[in-house]
Chains A and B, each alone.
Chain A
């Protein structure tokens, strides 16, 4: 075992978040650490990497017992953690980031050429075609992720902890990442701890799974010896019957129509329709213009032409407040960046877009009405919180997503657009979000969602639109869609027969 933790306890302010947890990672293996949000996975790996100190239990690194360690000491011992949110200096180059904090000096000045060469060597070892002198901020998120890995390797990390590394990557990029992980594994002297909510990825990389629930260790098993159903039921502590709870409704009248909408370089002449009683999924590769389409409809980015109709009437949308008052709302992809004011309370977040109806004549917020609205939203969506005054940023991903959606449902919206509604939230919360979308569908509200998860699109959408390079390149009813057909449309690049090589 490279790193071994036994009987770890950890409490924050009297709340036990880790209770007698044991965990280890050996050389040459990839351990998938699984569990719902709040299960204690992140706390555990933060203890391994020195961010937190344990209350009780023992920790051995390379077989030697260690006391409380600092992040710096953990790093020096070869334990590297790659966080979900990347920790790179976006204004510095790849090489500068790789050597950050351990710069090489020659006669007291930076040995730039040496560092550049060494960075190039590491990148090459990873099979990456990347210029070490490129500025990190100019790279795509996936490339940045790989820079993090290169940084860890160049510092001779032997235990590599990856917290949800794939959540922002496309299928092709994920494949590349797994290739790199597998080749690192085969070198035989490194161990990788892998945290992810995407269970379908496990088959490509995991040797062993460790499942946690509610701060406790549940099970550790060879991946080959456990079924997906067992994994899920161990994670949630109960059986989840349907992964995608589909509700069938007859298709009703047309609610919403977009005609020939164009916006910048990313949305080209898009037309689409939404009907009562259906959920429309928008599929496509990263950069296909799906998020940009939702932003253009909602009025965040200016459009260069096109018409939008709601219930047959033309609506003009120049800014978000136009679409909100028309009844078209958007739950954006990046909750923390676009969806929530994380340092404001749940109450303030839910009230924010509804202040027009909550304010009296003099612009004064009616607190009684506000509390009523917030209380109803929290109840209807089963948002788990200790009270409406807690900061939105303190909630789990699933509950945050419910707040983002809930603030829109508190007003009578006609069309709700979701951009990646289940990204980064756990299995049980996903099902709750699906049920919520089903409720909207039953009420006759137009529902559209963008998703990069193929199973979700195929399993949940009644109708599927596929985008590529800003255009809609395909449309399928749920029964007739296959993964291959969708992928074929998603790679239908202009002027090329197949653009697989441009998929990055």
Chain B
């Protein structure tokens, strides 16, 4: 085709090539939105852009990003994971209970991880193998996991996990490396690994394919249940890590840790352009989505806004960002129809 060569990838600049990545335009749109919010808060309160606040902001953002990664993986397969928040709570309670009972922190982490991954495997089995609607299947495990969180210490929050857990607490929350809190490093490392899996491996490609068209994927030899289960395992793993961070932060196990996180995770994902219908979105978008979420929370607190206002603002942003995406895409849809 004449004039078609410029989009073939060989003769283009880096910018054009990045723009050509599917989902990148949405990410750029929300990044502009993030910049605007950032500047507004910077002007409202000079403390907002202080180094100290930035360090704190990043640390507040890290758990949101990690559960955002969790939910994004599941959303990309066209499913949803409602058990994220409860697995966070379960992870927090199991690890704290074990440590107060004298188990070493490393042993506690391993046992907690296994328990959380079992929930992930159960989610995968219910949704992919038993073909339960994901909303129902994970609603069940959400309640089960919260129940386990309450059960492990006889329906009480735990006592302090004690001095022996200092390394654990530094590793997950209080420590620093290169001037950046360890929680942030955990988020960066997890994001790098999972972004690589999603964008460069066969498993990642299968996740997009299953979310885009499950029948076509099946007919192409993709193992559907393995792919969906993998996504739920990633979700459970990330939720587990956030639970450990919660435990390290407070030094106690709290039964309602992670409450509502599954929905915050949906918000971070969709603000960043991950489609709830599956098959569409980038993990880079989830970073921006989690950033917008955290900047709003942090900035509004600094501006002295009460909780009620914060809730309303976040809700409005979720709706606007998805609305914006739909409007942008409708413009494109009209264009696509020219080939019909």
Contact residues of A with B, CB < 8 Å? 12-13, 15, 17, 37-38, 42-43, 46, 52, 298, 300, 319-321, 324-325, 330, 332, 337-345, 348-349, 351-353, 355-356, 358-359, 362-365, 371, 384-389, 391, 393-396, 407
Which of the residues B205, B206, B219, B222 comes within 8 Å of A332, measured between beta carbons?
Answer: B219
Once the chains bind, are A42 and B202 in contact (CB under 8 Å)? no
B201 at the interface (CB under 8 A from A): yes
Once the chains bind, are B202 and A341 in contact (CB under 8 Å)? no
14 contacts between A and B (CB under 8 A): A12-B335, A52-B337, A339-B219, A341-B279, A344-B22, A345-B22, A348-B208, A348-B209, A363-B201, A363-B203, A371-B9, A385-B1, A389-B9, A389-B22
Which of the residues B4, B200, B338 comes within 8 Å of A387, measured between beta carbons?
Answer: B4
Give B204-240 as 1s and 0s: 1 = Cβ < 8 Å from A's Cβ atoms.
Answer: 0110110011011111111100000000000000000
B138 at the interface (CB under 8 A from A): no
- A residues less than 8 Å from B22 (CB atoms): 344-345, 389, 391
Once the chains bind, are A344 and B212 in contact (CB under 8 Å)? yes
Give B1-42 as 1s and 0s: 1 = Cβ < 8 Å from A's Cβ atoms.
Answer: 100100111000000000010100000000000000000000
Once the chains bind, are A339 and B201 in contact (CB under 8 Å)? no
B339 at the interface (CB under 8 A from A): yes
Distance of A342 Cα from B223 Cα, bound (Å): 19
Once the chains bind, are B221 and A353 in contact (CB under 8 Å)? yes
Once the chains bind, are A387 and B335 in contact (CB under 8 Å)? no
Once the chains bind, are B339 and A352 in contact (CB under 8 Å)? no
Once the chains bind, are B208 and A344 in contact (CB under 8 Å)? yes
Once the chains bind, are B337 and A352 in contact (CB under 8 Å)? no
- B residues less than 8 Å from A407 (CB atoms): 220
- B residues less than 8 Å from A339 (CB atoms): 216, 219
- B residues less than 8 Å from A396 (CB atoms): 339
Which of the residues A300, A353, A365, A395 comes within 8 Å of B200, measured between beta carbons?
Answer: A365
- B residues less than 8 Å from A37 (CB atoms): 339
Once the chains bind, are A338 and B216 in contact (CB under 8 Å)? yes
Once the chains bind, are B1 and A384 in contact (CB under 8 Å)? yes
Which of the residues A324, A343, A351, A363 comes within 8 Å of B279, measured between beta carbons?
Answer: A343
Apart from the given pairs A12-B338, A300-B218, A324-B220, 16 other A-B contacts in the complex at a CB distance below 8 Å:
A13-B335, A13-B338, A17-B338, A42-B340, A52-B334, A300-B219, A320-B220, A339-B216, A340-B213, A352-B222, A353-B220, A364-B200, A365-B202, A387-B9, A395-B339, A396-B339
CB contact under 8 A between A12 and B8, given known A324-B221, A343-B279, A345-B22? no
- B residues less than 8 Å from A351 (CB atoms): 205
Main secondary structure of the interface of A (DSSP, over half): mixed
B52 at the interface (CB under 8 A from A): no
- A residues less than 8 Å from B219 (CB atoms): 298, 300, 320, 330, 332, 338-339
Size class of B's contact patch? 35 or more
Question: Closest CB of chain B to A113's CB: distance in Å?
Answer: 35
Count A/B pairs, Cβ under 8 Å: 122
Once the chains bind, are B202 and A386 in contact (CB under 8 Å)? no
Once the chains bind, are A38 and B339 in contact (CB under 8 Å)? yes
Question: Closest CB of chain A to B31's CB: distance in Å?
Answer: 21
Distance of A458 Cα from B117 Cα, bound (Å): 57
Once the chains bind, are B279 and A43 in contact (CB under 8 Å)? no
Once the chains bind, are A342 and B220 in contact (CB under 8 Å)? no
Residue of A nearest to B223 (CB): A321
Distance of A298 Cα from B219 Cα, bound (Å): 8
Main secondary structure of the interface of B (DSSP, over half): helix
Distance of A67 Cα from B58 Cα, bound (Å): 55
Once the chains bind, are B337 and A43 in contact (CB under 8 Å)? yes
In B324-340, which residues have CB < 8 Å from any A CB? Answer: 334-340
Contact residues of B with A, CB < 8 Å? 1, 4, 7-9, 20, 22, 200-203, 205-206, 208-209, 212-213, 215-223, 279-280, 334-340
Which of the residues B8, B201, B222, B336 comes within 8 Å of A365, measured between beta carbons?
Answer: B201
Distance of A355 Cα from B227 Cα, bound (Å): 14
- A residues less than 8 Å from B212 (CB atoms): 341-344
Once the chains bind, are B339 and A320 in contact (CB under 8 Å)? no
Once the chains bind, are A338 and B215 in contact (CB under 8 Å)? yes
- A residues less than 8 Å from B8 (CB atoms): 386-388
- B residues less than 8 Å from A364 (CB atoms): 200-202
- B residues less than 8 Å from A300 (CB atoms): 218-219
Q: List 5 A-B pairs, minimum CB-CB distance, nearest first.
A: A341-B212, A12-B338, A321-B221, A353-B220, A387-B7
Distance of A388 Cα from B9 Cα, bound (Å): 9
Question: Closest CB of chain A to B291's CB: distance in Å?
Answer: 26
Once the chains bind, are B201 and A352 in contact (CB under 8 Å)? no
Distance of A338 Cα from B279 Cα, bound (Å): 15
Residue of B nearest to A358 (CB): B202
- B residues less than 8 Å from A46 (CB atoms): 337
Distance of A49 Cα from B206 Cα, bound (Å): 40
User: Could you say which of B201, B218, B338 has the most chain A C-beta atoms within 10 Å of its C-beta?
Assistant: B338
CB contact under 8 A between A43 and B221, given known A338-B215, A341-B212, A343-B279? no
Distance of A321 Cα from B335 Cα, bound (Å): 37
Question: Closest CB of chain B to A68's CB: distance in Å?
Answer: 14
- A residues less than 8 Å from B20 (CB atoms): 387, 389
Distance of A42 Cα from B337 Cα, bound (Å): 9
Question: Closest CB of chain B to A314's CB: distance in Å?
Answer: 20
- A residues less than 8 Å from B7 (CB atoms): 386-387, 389
Once the chains bind, are A386 and B201 in contact (CB under 8 Å)? no
- A residues less than 8 Å from B223 (CB atoms): 319, 321
Which of the residues A342, A359, A384, A391 comes within 8 Å of B202, measured between beta carbons?
Answer: A359
Which of the residues B205, B218, B338, B340 comes within 8 Å of A348, measured between beta carbons?
Answer: B205
Residue of B nearest to A298 (CB): B219
- B residues less than 8 Å from A371 (CB atoms): 9
Distance of A384 Cα from B336 Cα, bound (Å): 16
Once the chains bind, are B334 and A12 in contact (CB under 8 Å)? yes
Distance of A136 Cα from B285 Cα, bound (Å): 40
Which of the residues A17, A338, A341, A391 comes within 8 Å of B209, measured between beta carbons?
Answer: A341
Residue of A nearest to B206 (CB): A355
Once the chains bind, are B340 and A43 in contact (CB under 8 Å)? yes
Distance of A219 Cα from B174 Cα, bound (Å): 78
Distance of A298 Cα from B221 Cα, bound (Å): 10
Distance of A396 Cα from B220 Cα, bound (Å): 21
Question: Closest CB of chain B to A40's CB: distance in Å?
Answer: 9
- A residues less than 8 Å from B201 (CB atoms): 359, 362-365
- A residues less than 8 Å from B335 (CB atoms): 12-13
- B residues less than 8 Å from A338 (CB atoms): 215-216, 219
Distance of A82 Cα from B247 Cα, bound (Å): 60
Residue of A nearest to B222 (CB): A352
CB contact under 8 A between A341 and B339, given known A365-B201, A386-B4, A387-B7? no
